[in-house]
Structure 1
Amino acid sequence: MEAVMTDKLPFSLFIASHEGIIRYSNEILLRYMPGPDITGKNIKDVFTSWTELRGGKIIHASCQGKDCIFIKNKCADSQDWVFIGTFSSELTSLVEELREAKKLNRELDAIIENSYDGIYITDKDGITIKTNSAIERLTGIPKEYYIGKKVDDLLKRGILKNSVTHRVLEKRRAVSLVQENYLGRQTLLTGNPVFNEKGEIEGIVTNIRDLSEMNELQAALKEANQLKDTYKKEIERLKGKSVWPHGVIIRSDSIKRIYDTALRVANVDATVLMLGETGTGKDVLARFIYENSERSRKGQFIKINCGAIPADLLESELFGYAGGAFTGANTKGKPGMFELANNGVLFLDEVGELPLALQVKLLRVIQEREVQRIGGTKPLKLNVRLIAATNRNLKEMVALGEFREDLFYRLNVVPISIPRLAERKDDILPLVNYYFEVMNSRYNRKKTATSSLNDFFCHYSWPGNVRELANLIERLVLVTEENDLRTEHLPAEYRESTEEAIQVNEMMTLKEAGELAEKRILQLALKRYSNTYEMAEALKTSQPTIVRKLKKYKLKMNE
């Protein structure tokens, strides 16, 4: 009777002795077996694989090419075992996914634990859920102490001075700050939000980097490099490789890619067009390309700022003039910049300022590779490589008829876009250290930046980019009496505000104020970026979200 009842069950079942000998199997199980009866056979002779999980309570087996999951239970009235299960590909896939998830978790735990930087993970309420051993090196406190602690409690006890977690929750984006911990070590904290599928913050991952150690290593490395610098340059020259230009800090990935590109095109004659705001280092990059090319041994590097010379004089500066070409002209004539740059490089800075009439003549020189002086009768063949730079949007100028389209495409052979300093966070503090070093040496001073000032340097928008940073540091070194420089030593215009304020002149709801700020940020992003993908990356959100927000506020890319 019991056998008849078990045969009616909708799942596979069999009973086996403690030694693994099958005593009974129901009809459902026999459908998957190699023969009509498996009674008396050993489990391992029937199933081609037999893997015990969860201490033997769950079995993953296979027979006739089909997988099965069994649950193992003890018989109530004997020493036999009852195996209940089902042949299901879905269950098998679930087991495989579970194994893969466990493997990934082990790998993730290993990555976090072996990170040299401290990693500190909290939930949305600021409660610590995970950290690694590196935090013990940075704070001297065992990592287990932090688990379950709220950030607010750590602040009250003085273990943390500032909370990057609170700033991330407030701004809903990645936030960095520089601070000294209670051991007196200078650290850089970078917090990144973790969003769920609803766009809500469910956790914050904070990376803690020891700047004191980095500064000590950097000083030691500098001393070592000074000892071998002469030999290194000579070896690199003999190998035909490049040495980074003096004063250029290349720490961020974006600048590394730019200088790697510059190296690859240094010894070809393709025209390079550099795009970027004022002060980003376009002229330094142009000179770098020249110094790492064969042309540096054959010709000169000639620079002309097309926006600094009056239009009526610019033509003669570029192309030169013959003797007596116009009233007041030198009787012997004068070579232009193109002639002076023969076999070398001509750097046309602010090329977007060229008048249309001169654009036509420049295009002809590029196409025909020859120049004719003003008042001259004989063209001169030239071998000049052009590098152009501008802080203007040439594509937009072409659309407005302010710049010739054919000249644009002649110049835009190898475009290199140099990002703003505010977009190169990894370069800011190394640049700060470099310029303090330069200015202290130049003016025989011993000025250093405190953590609060370094924090300002990291977060200021730097509209003047690297040039503004260098000028500000020179100003601080010259006019401040104290050696330890703080934010209160900054000029008034820097202390007042580091961000553009949104003007509110009337009462409104908090929702309306938030939408006003959101719309303003999108308008600024539209001016700076050329597509919604770049906007999404800069604003730390998804491209579909940007598209939806633009539609909401009736904003378009060409605004």
Structure 2
Amino acid sequence: MDGVNLQKENQNLKDVNRELDAIIENSYDGIYITDKNGVTLKTNSAIERITGIPKEYYIGKNVKDLIKRGILKNSVTRKVVEEKRTVSLVQNNYEGNETLLTGTPVFNENGEVEKVVTNIRDLSDLNKLQIELRKANQLNTQYKKELERLKNKPDQVKGIVTKSKSMKQIYDSATRIANIDATVLILGETGVGKDVLAHYIYTNSNRSQKGDFIKINCGAIPPDLLESELFGYEGGAFTGASRDGKPGMFELAHKGILFLDEIGELPLSLQVKLLRVLQEGEIQRVGGTKPKKIDVRIFAATNKDLQKMVEDSDFREDLYYRLNVIPLEIPPLRNRREDILPLIQQFLDEVNNKYQLNKEFDYDLQDFFLSYEWPGNIRELFNLIERLAVTSREDIINIDSLPEEYLTTNKLTANVIVPLKEAVEMAEKKVIALAAEKYTNTYELAKALNTSQPTIVRKLKKYNIHLK
């Protein structure tokens, strides 16, 4: 090789070394090169950032000496030479930061380890990033839950309208107590939506992921059957009982919520057993001998005055206070008229979709809806809307389509002059109809209206009014 080519080759070698030095020097990770004996040949400035010790300090030093001085805790170089393969280990450096050391062997022509190139990565930044990512994920989960809560605010949930201040307060309270495992007593007139509120609380609680929402109407089941429905029974406990027995509502609601509707109708004998469940968290099947632990949250609802029932000894005082831990009272529809028009639109949309209709209410009919007293509350409103939608021939429904009993009420409230006898009959019909919503037999009705039972029977027939 002549002098010119030799000089050129030498220049090329210098260029390659300079590029290699630049690559090593500008690496974000620490680069640490030793010979097979562990003597440091080369390193870069990143090692100073990672360890806090200038890179010049390492040159010529043996890793054994660095370990003795506490700068290193373990030698990856020695393991690479012994095992003749790439080795990784994690250790804390001189400043206490966690680092990942990866040693890679460089072999000579005889297959022997000649040098060891160690890559040093500071894990503290990565750990910080992981912590920040974990926090971000937690926040993201919280934001998702909050967005879901906002998206499912009561005034946007099917069947629930809370435009009025009173209803917003009730559903705000319901949201707050959803995951508090205390008994809830929901009060309100017939048809105000007590079961809807109960199911809303369940849906927004952790129990909705663990157990079922079980509802039982305490007034709809004969007293002699109610006990077995609530607590279940063992096989052969009574005539006609299944040989295998049957779980009751409490067992079916395990880990979930049991909604006791019309709790005021619960017989005194069963009130004692319910009190035991609330106190001890266990039930005993009819015909059984061993109590069984259950995890059930109790919701109760009634349209009756339980305090008065306690005074009259019709309801146990101790049970009343056990149930009345978190009372929520839903106001009647006539006391929250801001909710009426949104409810009308919601119910009409549901009915139109159900029956493939395209019905609308004119202004006068909507005005009637706003002024009517709604003794049956939301249930009555929905039933009337459905009735009008399916029976009216016109798509635009007016006030003349109202059933006769509503037209009579409308005349009484619209300052219309009618014959005195007709006015008396209309007023009488309205009073009897309102009382019939509350009382279940003619004896109670006659007593409430201070008249005789035969008179009530005759008037009911005359005005075509039916008791519930």
Shorter-normalised TM range: 0.5 to 0.7
Matches within 5 A, 1:295-310: 295-310=207-222
In the alignment, is the contact (CA less than 8 A) between 2:216 and 2:260 conserved in 1? yes
CA spacing shift, 1:235–1:490, aligned 2, 3 Å: farther
SS of the residue corresponding to residue 301 of structure 2 reads: strand
- Residue in structure 2 matched with residue 248 of structure 1 by the alignment: 160
Q: Say yes or no: does 1:401 pair with 2:313.
A: yes
2: CA distance between counterparts of 1:499 and 1:401? Answer: 43
Give CA-to-partner distance per residue, 1:133-155, whole Å, 9 cap, x none: xxxxxxxxxxxxxxxxxxxxxxx
Could you tell me how far apart the structure 2 residues matched to 1:413 and 1:445 are? Answer: 45
Cα distance in 1 for residues equivalent to 2:375 and 2:410: 10
C-alpha distance in 2 between matches for 1:496 and 1:456: 12
Q: TM-score, normalised by structure 2?
A: 0.56
Post-superposition CA distance 1:14-54 (Å, at most 9, x none): xxxxxxxxxxxxxxxxxxxxxxxxxxxxxxxxxxxxxxxxx
- Which residue, 330, 353, 360 being the options, matches 1:441? 353
Q: Which runs of 4+ in 1 moved over 6 A?
A: none
2-structure distance, mates of 1:306, 1:437: 33
Match of 1:386 in 2: 298
Point out where structure 2 has 5 or more consecutive residues left out of the alignment: 1-141, 414-419, 421-426, 439-468
Does residue 206 of structure 2 align to residue 294 of structure 1? Answer: yes
Would the alpha carbon gap of residues 380 and 356 (structure 1) be closer, same or farther in structure 2, given more than 3 Å must change?
same
Query: Which one of 194, 197, 210 corresponds to residue 282 of structure 1?
Result: 194
In structure 2, the residue matched to 1:451 is: 363
Report the secondary structure of 1:246's partner residue: coil
SS of the residue aligned with 2:254?
coil
1:489 aligns with 2:401: yes
Which residue of the partner structure matches residue 428 of structure 1? 340
Tell me if the contact between 1:460 and 1:499 (Cα under 8 Å) persists in the aligned partners: no
Give 1:271 deviation, angstroms.
0.4
TM-score by length of 1: 0.47
- Give SS of 2:260's match: strand
The residue aligned with 1:108 is none
Change (3 A) 1:259 1:323: same
Q: Find the aligned partners of 2:145 and 2:407 in 1 and give their Cα distance.
A: 46
Partner residue of 1:341 out of 253, 278, 293: 253
Pairwise CA distance, 1:241: 2.9
* Residues 350 and 499 of structure 1: CA distance in aligned 2, closer, same or farther (over 3 Å): farther
> Residues 335 and 254 of structure 1: is their aligned pair in 2 closer, same or farther, counting only changes over 3 Å?
same
Structure with the greater alpha carbon radius of gyration: 2
Indicate the residue corresponding to 1:417 in structure 2: 329
Equivalent position of 2:381 in the other structure: 469
Which whole-Å CA distance do the structure 1 matches of 2:362 and 2:144 have between them?
37
Distance in 2 separating the partners of 1:470 and 1:429: 12
Q: Which moved more, 1:431-440 or 1:344-353?
A: 431-440
Aligned equivalents of 2:334, 2:235: Cα separation in 1: 50
Partner of 2:103: none
Of 245, 256, 275, which aligns to 1:363? 275
SS in 1 for 2:214: strand
Work out whether residues 461 and 499 of structure 1, in 8 Å CA contact, stay in contact via their aligned partners in 2: no
Question: Could you tell me how far apart the structure 2 residues matched to 1:325 and 1:445 are?
Answer: 52
- CA 1:451/1:340 → structure 2, altered by over 3 Å: closer, same or farther? same
Q: How well do the aligned residues superpose, as a CA RMSD in angstroms?
A: 2.4
Q: 1:394, 1:500 → 2: CA distance?
A: 34
The yes-or-no answer on 1:259 pairing with 2:171 is: yes
**What's the secondary structure of 2:149's corresponding residue?**
coil
1:136 aligns with none
Deviations 1:194-218 (A, max 9, x none): xxxxxxxxxxxxxxxxxxxxxxxxx
Residues in 1 aligned to 2:375 and 2:143: alpha-carbon distance in whole angstroms: 39
Distance 2:222 2:397 in 1: 42
Q: Which structure dedicates a bigger proportion of its chain to strand?
A: 1
1:436 CA drift (Å): 1.1
| Partner-residue secondary structure (3-state), 2:345 | helix
Distance 2:185 2:143 in 1: 31
SS in structure 2 of the partner of residue 269 of structure 1: coil
Amino acid of the structure 2 residue aligned with 1:248: I
Q: In 2 relative to 1, CA 299–256 (structure 1 residues): closer, same or farther, beyond 3 Å?
A: same
* CA 442–413 in structure 1, closer or farther in 2 if over 3 Å, else same: same
Looking at structure 2, the residues matched to 235 and 447 of structure 1 have their Cα atoms a distance apart, in angstroms, of 40
Question: For residues 411 and 295 of structure 2, what CA distance do their matches in structure 1 show?
Answer: 47
**Partner of residue 273, structure 1:** 185
Rounded to whole Å, the distance in 2 between the matches of 1:237 and 1:486 is 44
Residue identity opposite 2:179 in structure 1:
N
- Aligned partners of 1:461 and 1:498 also within 8 Å: no
Contact 1:252 1:426 in 2 (8 A): yes
Does the residue aligned with 1:321 lie in a helix, a strand or coil? coil
Amino acid in structure 2 at the alignment position of 1:347 = F
Q: Which residue of 2 aligns with 1:319?
A: 231
Higher RCO, Cα 8 Å, sep 6+:
2
Report the residue type matching 2:246 in the other structure: K
Q: Specify the alignment match of 2:107 in structure 1.
A: none
Structure 1 residue 246 displacement after superposition: 1.4
Give distance in 2, aligned partners of 1:352 and 1:332: 32
Whole-angstrom CA distance in 2 between matches of 1:500 and 1:399: 38
Question: What letter corresponds to residue 436 of structure 1 in structure 2?
Answer: L
Is residue 234–residue 288 contact of structure 2 (8 Å, CA) maintained in 1? Answer: yes
Shift of 1:238: 6.9
In 1, Cα distance between equivalents of 2:146 and 2:191: 33
Alpha-carbon distance change, 276 to 500 in structure 1, aligned in 2, over 3 angstroms: farther
Superposition deviation, residue 235 in structure 1: 6.9
Counterpart CA distance in 2 for 1:317 and 1:304 is: 9
User: CA offset at residue 274 of structure 1?
Assistant: 0.4
Q: Any unmatched runs of 5+ in structure 1?
A: 1-233, 502-506, 508-516, 529-559
More helix as a share of residues: 2
Q: CA deviation at 1:237?
A: 3.9
Paired residues of 1:324 and 1:333 also in contact (CA < 8 A): yes
Secondary structure of the structure 2 residue equivalent to 1:429:
helix
Deviation at 1:498, TM superposition (A): 4.7
